[in-house]
Every structure is written in C-alpha cells, then in structure tokens.
Amino acid sequence: MKKAVVISVLATAIGAAAVTPVMAQSAVQSAQAVQIGSLTVSINGQPAAIRTIDAQGVTLASVRDLAKALEASLNVAGSTITVQLNHNVVQLNDAVTVSGTAFVEPVSFLTKLGVGYSNGNITSVKFLENAEQVTWVNASKLIVSKSIDTGREDYLVDAATGKNELLLTSSDTSELIVSPDGSKAAYSEADGTVNVIDLSTKQSTKVSTDTSIKNEMVFSADGSSIFFFQGDKNTVIAKLSLADGAVTTVLEDKVDYKANLAVSADGKKVAYFQIKQPVVKNDATDVSKDDVTIDPTGTETQAFFYDSAKADNKPVQLTKDATDKAFLELSADGSKVYYVSIGEDSVGSIASVDTASLAAASVYNAEDVFQLNQADGKLIVLTAKGDANSISAIDPATGTASKLYGVSDAVSELIVSGKGDIAAISNGQLAVPVNGKFTTITR
C-alpha cells in the first residue's frame, strides 16, 4: 500500500477531521479548556486506548500512549521529546502539553516512525519477506520458512501481528514438521539423521542417527513417532520412535514412487498415492532419439490403503479410474480416504472411498475444488465458482458446504492446521483472518 494511502486510512482510523500540520501553539489556545478524550485503535493486533484532544478540528494523540502501544522508547529532556522505534528516531519540540501529557498530530508522527498499515491494523512490526513453506504451530503462531544463499531460515511468526523471531538456520535439511500439540518440530539432515526442536526453549536435539533417506515425514497423532517414506524412490513406509530413535518398517512391498502419506490417529493405518512410471518402448536406451516411444497406459495416480494390524500384510488398491488425483486425506479412524478428483475438463471435485468395502462416492462437486485439507472431522477446501473464490468447510458425511470466507482469485494455497486454523498465500504473501478479513503478515 502506498504511503499516501496509509496516511489517509490511518487518519480515518484515529478520527482526525483533517490531516494538517497543525502546530502545538496554534492548535490549542488554552490548555485548561481542553478536554482529554480517548480512542481505541488496533496496534500490532492488540486494542490500545489512546488519549486524544481536539485542536481546532484536528485530533491530536498522546505521545506516551502511542509509544507504549508500539513498544517504542521515549525520552524527555527539557522541552524535547525523543521517540525511537527500530532505527527511526523522531524528536518533538512543539507538542501540546495538557495536564502533563504531550499530544501530537498522529499521522505525521507515526509516518516518521516507519509505522505501517494493513486492512485496519496499525503495525510497527518488520514483516518477513519472500515467505515460502508455512505450517501452523498453534492457533496464535506459525512457522514460516524462506530460502537464503546458504540454505534456509525458519521463523516463528505471531499470527495476529506478523512479529517474528528466528528459530533455525540450516542447509540441506528437510522442511520442518510440527507435532499435533504444537510443542515440537522435526527435520532431517542431508545425511538422513533427524533432529527435534523444542518450540518453547528453541533447543534442538538429535533423536535418530539412522541415515536412510526420509521423505514426507508425518508426526503420529500422539507426537511420539514420525512416519515417512524411506529410500530415494519412496519404496518403503517406515516409522521412527522419538523415545529411542529406532526405525521400524511399516510397509515394504517393493513398489516404488509412493506419495502423499496420510496416517490414522492410532498409527496402524496408512494411505498414499502410488505413481507408476511410463513404459519406454522399442528397446531403445537413448530417449533423445526419435524412435523412442513412451507408453503412459496405466500410469494414472491411484490411491492405496494399508492396515498394519491385518494378518495378510498387503496394501489394498482403492481406486482404478483414469482421473488425475491430488490432496489425499485419511479419516482419523482410517475408515475413509478423501481426495480431489480432476476430470478431463480440469475441474476438481471431492471423492471418497470406504477402506473396508471399497465403495466409492462423490462427496462434493458444486464448485471447482482447488485444494483439500482435513481438520477436526471437516474437509476444508479452496474452491471457485465463476469469478468467486471461497474457503469452505464440508461435512464429509453429507457433502454439505459451509462457506467460511470469500477470497480473491489471488489466493493460491491454504495452510490448515489439524484443529482448523486457516491461513492463505495470496500474491506470494501470507495472510490470516482477523475479525473476518484476511490480513497479510508477510511481505
């Protein structure tokens, strides 16, 4: 948002009748006759009561109240008041003093302090830029990752304000995954070993020295173990115990290229997509030659289910149709698999398969489904119908959709926690809902 727009909206938020450089002495003729009022504004995501006075139709605000709400330093030396916020320093020599309190025209004062504005919120926080991977920690905090020249930086970000602190700097490591209770995060090193970070102390501990390749790591529901695809071709499904670092095999069927791992709440059932590679024909070894043909027949992505408690110890193929499939989810009890089925017209719908009877069903097709997540027994979807995009919660039993938010078509991705906290990526920026409207908390 351009500075001129920021100033204009900020003036409206603070209630100024006009934004003019009214000086202290000309604004107030008699301090004794001035009435001190109060106005509540949102500063860094928190309501702040700011004392105000009216100076010939212009609202002046308490310097001390603004500085306190912004967590800026304030120093008084004689008639000079100095306020510092980050690297911005403002010196005031002409503030109006009423009953021992200094008041200034707030818009120019806050602008000089480098304060920003977004969707009704005044903020002094320096937002992260170029955010990439995002995951929820709890209802008030997220982990946001960004690439740097030497690898990656991971930050803890306050969902209400965008205030952030560096959590981890790493190189050649996997994305961070967060335990369901939000107490810890885990990642694997380039050598396959696994570390866990206590998110309260920020201390990292190596929990496994196993050096096998670990892809798509997923925490168990109780946070005691981590499931993952093992090997460079995602051939094996394995489990790592955080208590002793032991790695055990869950499924080894000698079939490569598994993806989108989902685990039931009891940790005994898993679902995944199987991706079959196309066949190279004509016995050619150089695929750059014109006589080489690639046969994609039967290579459509299919959903599979495996129950480790069953004696036959074999995965079950849930789907056999030719549609593209994405965003696989497994119900907490392992009884249903949900996914986005993409038809020939490239329109997405939600389909389900009963993992016991193998009965398939259409769950939702009223709108074009772009993304599917599961949270607290509901299916959270990003959809489009005409020019309108929406975020909705769908009851998987009835297919009934409840619209949560209307969003612009710039929203390209949802970040949904297991408890239903929602964030979105819009135009490359991370946004979270505040008072029913999405507010950006990164740049």
What is the spatial distance between Cα 257 and Cα 274, in angstroms, rounded to a whole number? 6
pLDDT value at position 284? 57
Please, is 212 exposed, middle or buried when counting C-beta atoms within 10 Å of its C-beta (0-12, 13-18, 19+)? middle
CA distance 266 to 335: 12
Q: In the chain, what are the domain boundaries?
A: 3-123
Radius of gyration over every alpha carbon of the chain, rounded to an integer in angstroms: 28
Q: Which of 317, 279, 281, 280 is nearest to 301 (CA)?
A: 317
What confidence category does residue 296 fall into, taking pLDDT thresholds of 50, 70 and 90? low
- Asked which of 51-60, 159-168, 423-432, 434-443 is least confident by mean pLDDT, the reply is 434-443
The partner residues of 289 in beta bridges, in order of sequence, read none
Instruction: List, for residues 220-253, the tens digit of each pLDDT value.
Output: 999 999 999 999 999 999 999 999 999 999 999 9
CB under 8 Å, gap of 24 or more: what pairs does 391-394 form? Answer: 391/422, 391/424, 392/367, 393/420, 394/350, 394/363, 394/364
**Which amino acid is it at 249?**
T
Biggest alpha carbon–alpha carbon distance for the chain: 98
For residue 163, the number of C-alpha atoms closer than 13 Å in the C-beta half-sphere is: 13
Distance in angstroms (rounded) separating the CA atoms of residues 154 and 195: 14
Query: Which among 301, 302, 396, 305 is positioned nearest to 357, based on CA atoms?
Result: 305
**What confidence score (pLDDT) does residue 86 get?**
74
User: What pLDDT shows up at residue 22?
Assistant: 38
Q: Distance between CA atoms of 12 and 22, rounded to whole angstroms?
A: 17
Side chain identity at residue 336, one-letter code: K
Share of the chain above pLDDT 90, in %: 67
141-148 β-sheet, strand order? 134-138, 141-148, 151-158, 164-170
- Tell me: pLDDT of 12 over 50: no
Residue 114, both tokens: 């480098």
Q: How many CB atoms lie within 10 A of CB 231?
A: 15
Can you read off the two tokens belonging to residue 389? 């995009």
Tell me the two tokens of residue 393. 């919660």
- The mean pLDDT value of the chain amounts to 87
What tokens appear for 422 in the block?
A: 């929602």
Residue found by looking up tokens 């003729």 in the block: 29
- Taking alpha carbons only, the member of 125, 166, 116 closest to residue 146 is 166
AA identity, residue 73: S
| Closest residue by Cα to residue 271 from 317, 312, 238, 239 | 317
Q: Shortest CA distance to 174 belongs to which of 127, 123, 213? A: 213
Q: Cα–Cα distances in Å, from 30 out to 56, 98, 396? A: 12, 9, 67
User: Strands 184-188 and 194-198: what pairing?
Assistant: antiparallel
Segment 246-287, tens digit of pLDDT = 999 999 999 999 999 999 999 999 999 999 877 666 655 666
Residue 33 has pLDDT above 70, yes or no: no
Distance (Å, whole) CA 280 – CA 277: 9
Query: For residues 266 and 309, is the Cβ–Cβ distance under 8 A?
Result: no
- Asked if 110 and 116 touch (Cβ cutoff 8 Å), the reply is no
The mean pLDDT of 80-98, rounded to a whole number, is 89
Q: Of 191, 130, 120, 219, which is closest to residue 160 (Cα–Cα)?
A: 120
pLDDT of 131-190, one tens digit each?
Answer: 899 999 999 999 999 999 999 999 999 998 888 999 999 999 999 999 999 999 999 999
Please give the residue that has the higher pLDDT: either 260 or 120. Answer: 260
What span, in angstroms and rounded, lies between the C-alpha atoms of 16 and 105? 9
pTM score, whole prediction: 0.76
Determine the Cα–Cα distance for residues 196 and 240; give it in Å rounded to an integer. Answer: 12
At 31, is the secondary structure helix, strand, or coil? helix
Residue type, 192: G
pLDDT in tens, 371-430: 999 999 999 999 998 888 999 999 999 999 999 999 999 999 999 999 999 999 998 899
pLDDT at 24: 38
How much is the pLDDT for 283? 59
